[in-house]
């Protein structure tokens, strides 16, 4: 399977000048900070390779990062981006293009399944190492000044964390919405169980869109199979609220207009209680506890009688 | 356009073949009310399978026919509602709750026969009891 491109994944974050300015305002990154950061620039630039190594060594020591270290291509890319990141952090330009680079890094982290928590830990460790190095080199001269410089540098770090965490969250939300889409797209089959008897196992979330689709496919199945009874099993519907109940009622009414009787099965105790609490009137709906009961009721309606033979056929005879 | 009403045994069959104006619907209602008495029918089947829309007036008239024929001793069954029509009706809240429905003419005739048999049995029970 081809890896998805990074760029299209990031389109949901607003990468406008206003947004970047807003992010800077939030962490308090101003013009004064740029000068202070410039004073420690050489230290960070010279140690960039070492700091990058520190970051990834620390990541490796944490749980839940195995997928990153197994994927060498992604790891090399991450190392490269991280080195660029460390250099850019003291580069003095924190505009839209800077943010875009961080978004790329965030998207890469998300692709290898890096946890927000793990990322924060490793990033903090990186800051700690850089901080010690800066203090070691400059503290002798003017400790207060160096501390201020480092604090300015830290603002950039938090600026970055904001972006990367946003990307990680955004990617997670995207995954969730994709999965919801997939669940929604699972169509509801109408299965003919006997002559004139259909079964519809309904699974997943019922919203207005899906209810319409469900009703439509049921009505066409009734026509195509000349069904007289439809058993709708809602065991797989996690939550039934008044809206879902209304959708079901509409579907049942439509089936009746076509001359078919609908039987609803699989109402769990919780669902029944919540429907009663909501005051949904299901008195005109045929409901049966489970699918087996529903099928038995349907067979009675159609005049079938299932009889068990005294001598059950052995598997060999059956072939 | 007038709706032909066919007599098949003790059942009347009205087959609507094209969209009807309100006037045509009223005429169908009046015709059926007459014929049920004239032929002493025990059932009426109205086939709407050619219609791709059933508005509120048509629905109300159909229900009126059902109630009226019932008073004159005949069960009315609406047959052949198309899937799309059923969807639209339900969304408009026109569910024809008190009217019998069936998939097609065949089913409708079977339903009328079954209903009459039930009613006959009930009458016999009452008589015996």
Q: pLDDT (tens digit, 9 = 90+) per residue, A12-26?
A: 677 788 888 888 888
B57's tokens: 């007036």
**Assembly ipTM:** 0.82
In our burial notation (b when 16+ CB lie closer than 10 A, e otherwise), range A69-96 reads eebeebbebbeebbbbbbebbbbeebee
Of B86, B95, B111, the CB nearest to A258: B86
Query: What percentage of chain B carries pLDDT values higher than 70?
Result: 99
Question: What confidence tens digit (pLDDT) does each residue in A163-177 have?
Answer: 999 998 888 898 888
Check CB contact under 8 Å for A259 and B83.
no
- Are residues A172 and A59 in contact, defined by beta-carbon separation less than 8 angstroms? no
With 50 as the cut, is the pLDDT of residue A49 above it?
yes
Write down the number of H helices and E strands in chain B.
Answer: 4, 5
- Third-level CATH fold of A191-302: Transcription Regulator spoIIAA (3.30.750)
**Residue of chain A minimizing CA distance to B101:** A259
pLDDT of residue A224: 93
Cβ atoms within 10 Å, residue B16: 22
pLDDT of residue B129: 59
Of A215, A228, A257, the CB nearest to B81: A257
B114's tokens: 């079954």
Mean pLDDT of B32-46: 92
Q: Where are the domains of chain B?
A: 5-128
- CA–CA separation, A107 and A277 (whole Å): 45
A304's tokens: 């079938």
CATH 1.10.490.10 domain position(s) in chain A = 6-183
A215 touches chain B (CB under 8 A): yes
B112 touches chain A (CB under 8 A): no
- CA–CA separation, A303 and A298 (whole Å): 9
Query: Best interface-test mutation with A: which of B75, B78, B85, B86 has the largest number of A CBs within 10 A?
Result: B86
Check CB contact under 8 Å for B103 and A259.
yes
In our burial notation (b when 16+ CB lie closer than 10 A, e otherwise), range A188-203 reads bebeeeeebbbbbbbe
Mean pLDDT of A145-167: 89
Mean pLDDT of A288-314: 87
pLDDT of residue B124: 85
Between A97 and B129, whose confidence is greater?
A97
pLDDT of residue A12: 67
What's the CATH code, domain A6-183? 1.10.490.10
Question: Worst-scoring range by mean pLDDT, A52-56, B62-66, B74-78?
Answer: A52-56
Check CB contact under 8 Å for B83 and A228.
no
With 90 as the cut, is the pLDDT of residue B79 above it?
yes
User: What SS3 class is residue B6?
Assistant: strand
B87 touches chain A (CB under 8 A): yes
- CA–CA separation, A208 and A243 (whole Å): 8
Contact residues, chain B, for A284 at CB < 8 Å: 97
Helix/strand/coil (H/E/C) assignment for every residue in chain A: CCCCCHHHHCCCCCCCHHHHHHHHHHHCCCHHHHHHHHHCHHHHHHCHHHHHHHHHHHHHHCCCCHHHHHCHHHHHHHHHHHHHHHHHHCCCCCCHHHHHHHHHHHHHHHHCCCCHHHHHHHHHHHHHHHHHHHHHHHCCCCHHHHHHHHHHHHHHHHHHHHHHHHHHHHHHHHHHHHHHHHHHHCCCCCEEEECCEEEEEEECCCCHHHHHHHHHHHHHHHHHHCCCEEEEEEEECCCCCHHHHHHHHHHHHHHHHCCCEEEEECCCHHHHHHHHHHCCCCCCCEEECCHHHHHHHHHHHHCCCCCCCCCCCCHHHHC
Check CB contact under 8 Å for B83 and A256.
no
- CA–CA separation, A160 and A167 (whole Å): 11
Residue B14 per-residue DSSP state: E
A139 touches chain B (CB under 8 A): no
Of A226, A253, A259, the CB nearest to B90: A253
Angle, CA of A122, A127 and A130, to the nearest 5°? 125
A16's tokens: 């406008």
The radius of gyration of chain A's CA atoms, rounded to the nearest angstrom, is: 31
pLDDT of residue A5: 41
Cβ atoms within 10 Å, residue A183: 12
Name all contacts of B4-8 with Cβ < 8 Å and 24+ positions apart.
B5/B31, B5/B32, B5/B35, B7/B35, B7/B39, B7/B41, B8/B109
B102 touches chain A (CB under 8 A): yes
Phi/psi-derived region of residue A28, left when phi > 0, alpha when psi is between -120 and 50, beta in every other case:
left
Check CB contact under 8 Å for A254 and B103.
no
Q: How close, in Å, is residue B82 to chain A by CA atoms?
A: 7
User: Strands A261-265 and A229-236, how do they pair?
Assistant: parallel
B91 touches chain A (CB under 8 A): yes
A96's tokens: 């839209």
pLDDT of residue A185: 67
Structural domain B5-128, CATH architecture? 2-Layer Sandwich (3.30)
Size of interface A-B (CB pairs under 8 A): 59
pLDDT of residue B76: 94
Question: Worst-scoring range by mean pLDDT, A46-50, A194-198, A296-300, B103-107?
Answer: A46-50
**Residue of chain B minimizing CA distance to A284:** B97
- CA–CA separation, A145 and A36 (whole Å): 8
- CA–CA separation, B44 and B37 (whole Å): 12
A47's tokens: 């140690």
B41's tokens: 């029918």
Question: Worst-scoring range by mean pLDDT, A68-82, A257-271, A295-309?
Answer: A68-82
Element (H, E) at B116: helix B105-128
- CA–CA separation, A216 and A255 (whole Å): 10
User: What SS3 class is residue B25?
Assistant: helix
Angle, CA of A194, A200 and A203, to the nearest 5°? 150
């Amino acid at each position: 399977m081809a890896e998805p491109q990074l760029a299209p994944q990031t389109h949901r974050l607003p990468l406008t000048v206003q947004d970047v300015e807003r992010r800077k305002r939030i962490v308090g990154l101003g013009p004064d900070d740029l000068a202070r950061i410039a004073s420690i620039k050489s230290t960070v630039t010279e140690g960039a390779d070492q700091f990058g190594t520190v970051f990834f060594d620390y990541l490796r020591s944490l749980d839940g990062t195995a997928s990153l270290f197994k994927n060498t291509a992604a790891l090399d890319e991450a190392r490269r981006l991280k080195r660029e990141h460390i250099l850019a952090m003291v580069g003095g330009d924190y505009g839209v293009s800077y943010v875009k680079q961080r978004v790329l890094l965030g998207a890469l982290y998300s692709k290898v399944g890096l946890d927000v928590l793990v990322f924060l830990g490793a990033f903090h460790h990186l800051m700690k190492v850089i901080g010690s190095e800066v203090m070691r080199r400059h503290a002798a001269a003017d400790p207060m000044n160096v501390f201020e410089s480092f604090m300015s540098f830290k603002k950039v770090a938090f600026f970055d964390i904001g972006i990367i965490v946003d990307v990680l969250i955004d990617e997670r939300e995207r995954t969730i919405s994709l999965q919801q889409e997939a669940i929604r797209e699972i169509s509801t089959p109408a299965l003919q169980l006997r002559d004139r008897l259909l079964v519809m196992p309904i699974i997943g979330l019922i919203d207005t869109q899906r209810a319409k689709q469900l009703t439509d496919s049921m009505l066409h199945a009734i026509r195509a199979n000349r069904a007289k009874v439809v058993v709708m099993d809602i065991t797989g519907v996690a939550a039934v609220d008044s809206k879902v109940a209304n959708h079901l009622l509409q579907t049942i009414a439509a089936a009746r207009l076509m001359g078919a009787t609908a039987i609803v099965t699989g109402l769990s105790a919780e669902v029944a209680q919540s429907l009663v609490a909501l005051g949904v009137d299901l008195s005109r709906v045929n409901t049966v506890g489970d699918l087996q009961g529903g099928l038995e009721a349907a067979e009675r309606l159609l005049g079938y009688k299932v009889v068990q033979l005294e001598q059950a056929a052995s598997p060999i005879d059956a072939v | 356009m007038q709706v032909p009403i066919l007599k098949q045994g003790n059942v009347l069959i009205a087959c609507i073949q094209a969209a009807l104006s309100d006037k045509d619907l009223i005429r169908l209602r009046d015709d059926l009310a007459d014929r049920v008495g004239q032929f002493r029918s025990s059932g009426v089947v109205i086939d709407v399978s050619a219609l791709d829309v059933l508005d509120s007036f048509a629905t109300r008239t159909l229900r009126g026919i059902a109630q009226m024929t019932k008073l004159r001793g005949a069960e009315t069954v609406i047959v052949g509602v198309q899937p799309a029509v059923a969807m639209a009706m339900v969304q408009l809240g026109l569910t024809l709750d008190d009217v019998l429905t069936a998939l097609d003419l065949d089913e409708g005739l079977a339903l009328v026969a079954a209903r009459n048999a039930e009613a006959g049995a009930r009458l016999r029970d009452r008589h015996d009891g």
